[in-house]
Amino acid sequence: MNVPSNLLFTKDHEWIKIEGDEALIGITEYAQSELGEIVYVELPSVGDSVAIEKTFGTVEAVKAVSDLFMPVSGEVLDINPLLEEKPELINEDPYGEGWMIRIKLNNPADIDGLLSPEAYTQHIQ
């Protein structure tokens, strides 16, 4: 299972890539493999504020619907426009073109509660 060393993770299988005071967020390779073929994604709107550990959307797969939980609090700066037409990008490239939202971090200390790649690897084994 691919667990990139430049990301942080949640126990709920979201990943976050910190870029200064902004961050990209998506779901992990493990999560998409457990869900199966993803057919629809519901994401927040640009400008929405989402609190840490609150739901920021849903992923619908052929066999299940799963909530997405915010790893940190922040304001949505961008959503991945490709996912509306091609939600399967999450299956094909969860850490690349399958990213979901870009946020502005409200509280950089929120990242202290996230899992390192090593800790996440232990979590999914």
Domains assigned to the chain: 8-124 (2.40.50.100)
Kindly report, residue by residue over 54-100, the tens digit of the pLDDT: 999 999 999 899 999 999 999 999 999 999 999 999 999 999 999 99
What mean pLDDT comes out for the span 21-26? Answer: 97
The mean of the pLDDT values for the chain is 96
- Note the helical H segments in 1-116: 29-35, 82-85, 89-92
**Torsional sign, CA 31, 82, 114, 50:** negative
Strand order in the sheet with 14-19: 8-9, 14-19, 22-27, 101-105, 74-79, 49-50
Cα 75 versus chain centre, distance: 14
CA–CA dist 87, 73 (Å, integer): 24
Sheet containing 65-69: order of strands: 38-42, 55-61, 65-69
Place of tokens 């519901």: 42
Q: Is the pLDDT of residue 1 over 90?
A: no
